[in-house]
Structure 1
Amino acid sequence: MKYAIIAAGEGSRLREEGIEVPKPMVNLRGEMLIERLIRIFKSQGAEEISIIINAHSPELRRYLEGVTEKDGLINLIVETTPSSAHSFYAILNNSCRPFEELCLTTVDTIFSEDVFKSYIDDFNSRKDIDALMAVTDYVDDEKPLWVKTDERNKILEFSSCQKSERALVSGGIYCLRKKALSVAFSAMEQGVERMRNYQQMLVESGCEVFAFNFGKILDIDHAGDIDKAEFFIENQNKRVLCVGRAKRFSVGCEHKDKRLFDLICQALQKRGMRVCVVEEDDLCKEHLQGVCSVVSMARGKAATDMLDYVCQSATEVLNSPEGVRNCSRERFNVLLQDAGIPIPRFILLRHRNISSIRRENFADCNSLWIKRADALTMCAEDVVPARNDKELADYVDRMFARQIDHCLICENIEGRLVKVYRIAESEFLEYFFPSANKFSDLENISGEFPDINRKFLKRLSDKVARVLKLCVFGMDLIQTKEGKFYVIDVNDFPSFSDFALQAAEVICDKIEGLCNRKRM
């Protein structure tokens, strides 16, 4: 495919703010804007790179003529044009051969190289579309061109005002095929002077125009944008490994867990980070090489043992393998009890004889819970209530018949169930009262309860986080009518339910902080 760069602008705002070099020669982390784009396009197998500059930048012209002599890919066009649309037309008119496909961008567009590769791959794989336009939900333009799409990301309209709930604007990168390019010639004949008007013409002419969300795209319009762009590019060198949870550990929450995981991966990419995604069953040591941090929803022994390897190299894992292990029912009950955190009375059962245990430990309890203790919950039968001695004996027999070698017998605390989501060392704390379920007579008794003190919940959850060495977790609490709280369950990396979007951003803040701390 052929590529083209519009670099013919005057860069007047940058000059007014003290930047003396032409905009295409602005340096970002040791690389000029024009140099960066040439390198990226060549990495995608560019057959030709057309570059248009104005006639008033002799320094830029000398540089590009030198590059052209060394590199036969460059087609340099020197022409002063009144607008970016005119520059586009000049590129079309100065090509040695008509373009079959073209990727066009302006010189000051800053984007993730990994996302750009995905963008080109997507365009190459979809031969039935006429144009694939970069869009971004990062709106930092003085006059953005808003993009309205349908559920398939087909573009329905370009406009100067937002007309849909999705906040998407044009990103200034265009992949175009013959039909879309022919519309450009029509636009030229009609005197269309703005690229935004050309884009709307594509839709109105019946072209199949689709959007590709880059996440974050920046433009260099002001001197202050240079620091933003350098920080964004620096993030690209931060490789984050995201380890997805196996379905067997997402009992009843498979889609919610997947949604949170996808939101985290997308948010990291939007920040410019290089994201490597792997499912926990496929994780191997090669995935752990060269990562600055790891986001892991893994729960299986093989994956958590593997992640111990990366922890030895001082790479942070969120949540840590130790924290995940501490969420096993036997371990977290022992650890919380030793730390003085209120939990229901419990006893570990390694045999089927329960009569003496009930008399000695739970004589005053009307109901008990039988909970699998040798592993995390895998199915609904791993946590069941026993309302009488017969149910208790039956459920214990079933546990051992399933080759579960030990289980917990816990007292039932009367009160209301409170679900808590927490990200440690942040302001993120959400709680709610779940809707009724088949165990509501045990977990959600009726009546008046004291108001919940958010500061108390924060202190309690932070103590749990310290004891269990967790960062991202959920807790199930029982609040009694007297206002006392008991921790009855702890989950590492929950789905966050309706709070997933907010949680994903806070988790990304944590990861970004970990990467920066490691670099320092």
Structure 2
Amino acid sequence: MVTKLQGAIIAAGRGERLRVSTRDDLPKPLVKLGGEAMLSRQARALLAAGATSVVAVINSETARVGKEISLQTPPALRLVVRDTANSMETMLALGDLLEPGWFIASTVDAVIPQIELVRFVNESREKIEACREKNLAGVLAVTRWRGEDKPLFADVTENGLILGLGNRQTSLVTAGLYFLSTRVFDFAADARRAGLDALRRFLALLIERGMRLDSIEIDGSIDVDEASDLDAARRAIRKMP
């Protein structure tokens, strides 16, 4: 039973591809979408989707620049500064920050229509409460692959069970949105012993270790990696209700 839903944002990367393509030296979490920093916008979206509070892991540069520009954030957002080595370590840092239970996590650059975000949360709750398997680790949002570079492909059954995650091309890719149990942090030591260096590899490890990950397909998500993605996200936001 999902009683309390915590929110989390993975935002400790530097966003080099976006900086190079936009020639903007702002850390990615502080780049504006719809007149609001991506970090603040994502926190507000998670809160509106049902999270009771949100913690964001950011790096020291984002913290410094955010203070310089007087970044405005929702009161329910807690910023934690960690200069992590990679996206997996950013995710694992949440293990020290969240209470045992369930949480909804997103990457800071996953732009998702609010109606789809709310649907994902509601349907994830339903899946979790209907599942009797003790090895359930959570639910991942997936979307149709549109030719983006370096996607994480998902091999999914008709009922949404994820059989595998990796580079083998399928029609679905992960969308940077996760509804997970804090039990995933039990595998932190395994992941580090294996020398894993990315969140995608950690998620694949969960499946390899016998944990169940389900999926829900969402529509309209944009992963903001380059200037063209940022332009597309800004256009999409202007059309959102």
> Could you say which TM-score interval applies, normalised by the shorter chain?
0.7 to 0.9
- The within-5 A match list for 1:108-127 is 108-125=109-126, 126-127=128-129
Q: TM-score, normalised by structure 1?
A: 0.42
Q: Is the 8 A contact 1:52 1:78 kept in 2?
A: yes
Pair 1:229–1:51, CA change in 2 (3 A): same
Alpha-carbon RMSD: 2.1
State the partner residue of 1:52. Answer: 57
Pair 1:223–1:66, CA change in 2 (3 A): closer
Report the Cα distance in structure 2 between the residues aligned to 1:59 and 1:88, rounded to whole angstroms: 22
Q: Is the 8 A contact 2:92 2:185 kept in 1?
A: no
Q: Which runs of 5+ in 2 are unaligned?
A: none
Given the alignment of the two structures, is residue 91 of structure 1 paired with residue 98 of structure 2, yes or no? Answer: no
Deviation at 1:63, TM superposition (A): 6.2
Q: Is the 8 A contact 2:151 2:174 kept in 1?
A: yes
Q: Is the 8 A contact 1:64 1:76 kept in 2?
A: no
Q: Which runs of 5+ in 1 are unaligned?
A: 238-520
Where 2:123 maps in the other structure, the secondary structure is: helix
Deviation at 1:61, TM superposition (A): 4.7
Pair 1:211–1:183, CA change in 2 (3 A): same
Q: Number of aligned pairs?
A: 229
Pair 1:212–1:16, CA change in 2 (3 A): same
Report the Cα distance in structure 2 between the residues aligned to 1:64 and 1:12, rounded to whole angstroms: 23
Q: Is the 8 A contact 1:44 1:117 kept in 2?
A: yes
Given the alignment of the two structures, is residue 152 of structure 1 paired with residue 155 of structure 2, yes or no? Answer: no
Pair 1:48–1:111, CA change in 2 (3 A): same
Pair 1:183–1:216, CA change in 2 (3 A): farther
Instruction: Tell me: higher relative CO, structure 1 or 2? Use CA pairs within 8 A at least 6 residues apart.
Output: 2
Where 2:61 maps in the other structure, the secondary structure is: coil
- The within-5 A match list for 1:45-444 is 45-57=50-62, 58-61=64-67, 67=73, 71=75, 73-93=76-96, 95=97, 98-125=99-126, 126-127=128-129, 128=131, 129-162=136-169, 164=170, 167-237=171-241
Q: Is the 8 A contact 2:7 2:47 kept in 1?
A: no
Q: Is the 8 A contact 1:77 1:91 kept in 2?
A: no
Q: TM-score, normalised by structure 2?
A: 0.86
Pair 1:64–1:101, CA change in 2 (3 A): farther
Given the alignment of the two structures, is residue 27 of structure 1 paired with residue 27 of structure 2, yes or no? Answer: no
Residue of structure 1 aligned with 2:42, choices 23, 37, 57: 37
Q: Is the 8 A contact 1:192 1:198 kept in 2?
A: yes
Deviation at 1:47, TM superposition (A): 2.4
Where 1:6 maps in the other structure, the secondary structure is: strand
Matched-pair identity in %: 26
Deviation at 1:34, TM superposition (A): 1.0
Q: Is the 8 A contact 1:100 1:178 kept in 2?
A: yes
**Paired residue type of 2:154:** V
**Paired residue type of 2:101:** E
Report the Cα distance in structure 2 between the residues aligned to 1:186 and 1:60, rounded to whole angstroms: 35
Where 1:211 maps in the other structure, the secondary structure is: strand
Mean alpha-carbon deviation: is it higher for 181-190 or for 149-158? Answer: 181-190
Larger Rg: 1
Report the Cα distance in structure 1 between the residues aligned to 2:231 and 2:71, rounded to whole angstroms: 29
Render the CA deviation track for 1:25-61: whole Å, top value 9, x for unaligned.
1112222211111111111232221111111231225
